[in-house]
Amino acid sequence: MPKHCPICNRSSADTKFFGEFCSYCVESKMQKKLPDEVELTVCHRCGMIKSKGGYMEHTSEALEDALSQVIKGYRIRLMSADEDSVTLKITEDLPEYSVTVNKKIHIKWKKQMCERCNRISGGYYEAVIQLRGSDSEKMERFVNRVTRYFEKRNEFITKVKEADNGLDIYLSNKKLAAAYLSSHDVEFVPSYTLYGLKQGKKVYRHTYAVRI
Ligand SMILES: [Zn+2]
Ligand SMILES: [Zn+2]
């Protein structure tokens, strides 16, 4: 005896059933439950998108991850994406069966600035390398190397200023500055200046005098 769907009266002889309802009705019910639009956060300066672990580079994995955070309780696979919409394969795992639908969802981008861009635009720096020497090409190479080293690690060079007999390189992270100098066998003379308090602790800016 074929079953008949209590909603649309389709017969189990013609169509797949999930429990007592036909697949058409089960899938359309799920379609209605899913949002047509979700809001995701993007950094308007660098384009990174925000997910559970903070801001990440805008890849399809990051997008999938961010979407999973807002469309909870489903398994989500990104099929395609354009600027302001995505097509997803969405699966709901129920005790008796799993239902999968494809759905195009509009994305509303909320524009913010990530922490890194915030610091860049505020001219933030923790350390200065006072590079001194007479070979300007050598100094330029030094700046390029340290810039690459910082950018690779998601940090940045705030500015490079001309100084007497050299350049002052302003850096976003003092630990990384020290790590760079030690790992590249650069001799330096450190000095520290107090520049404020952060949660009751003294904060120092580090200066490294380097002669090349
Ligand atoms: Zn039905
Ligand atoms: Zn950013």
Tokens of 29: 């019910």
Q: Nearest to residue 19, comparing CAs of 7, 37, 32?
A: 7
* Domain assignment present for 3: no
* Domain assignment present for 13: no
* Domain assignment present for 78: yes
Assess whether 46 and 107 both reside in one domain.
Answer: yes
Domain span at residue 141 reads 123-211
Residue 203 pLDDT: 86
Ligand nearest to the CA of 56: 2
* Domain assignment present for 26: no
Instruction: Report pTM.
Output: 0.71
What spacing in Å lies between the alpha carbon of 79 and ligand 1's midpoint? Answer: 27
Residue 52 pLDDT: 85
* Domain assignment present for 94: yes
What spacing in Å lies between the alpha carbon of 47 and ligand 2's midpoint? Answer: 6
Place of tokens 């509303």: 108
What spacing in Å lies between the alpha carbon of 14 and ligand 1's midpoint? Answer: 11
What spacing in Å lies between the alpha carbon of 130 and ligand 2's midpoint? Answer: 28
* Domain assignment present for 18: no
* Total domains, the chain: 2
Ligand nearest to the CA of 14: 1
What spacing in Å lies between the alpha carbon of 59 and ligand 2's midpoint? Answer: 14
Assess whether 102 and 131 both reside in one domain.
Answer: no
* pLDDT value at 1 more than 90: no
What spacing in Å lies between the alpha carbon of 116 and ligand 1's midpoint? Answer: 52
What spacing in Å lies between the alpha carbon of 20 and ligand 1's midpoint? Answer: 9
For the segment 52-107, what is each residue's pLDDT rounded down to a tens digit? Answer: 889 999 999 999 999 999 999 999 999 999 989 999 999 999 888 999 999 999 99
**Average pLDDT value for the chain:** 93
Assess whether 140 and 76 both reside in one domain.
Answer: no
Angle, vertex CA 156, rays to CA 149 and CA 143, nearest 5: 55
For the segment 157-201, what is each residue's pLDDT rounded down to a tens digit? Answer: 999 999 989 999 999 999 999 999 999 989 999 999 988 888 888
Assess whether 88 and 144 both reside in one domain.
Answer: no
* pLDDT value at 154 more than 90: no
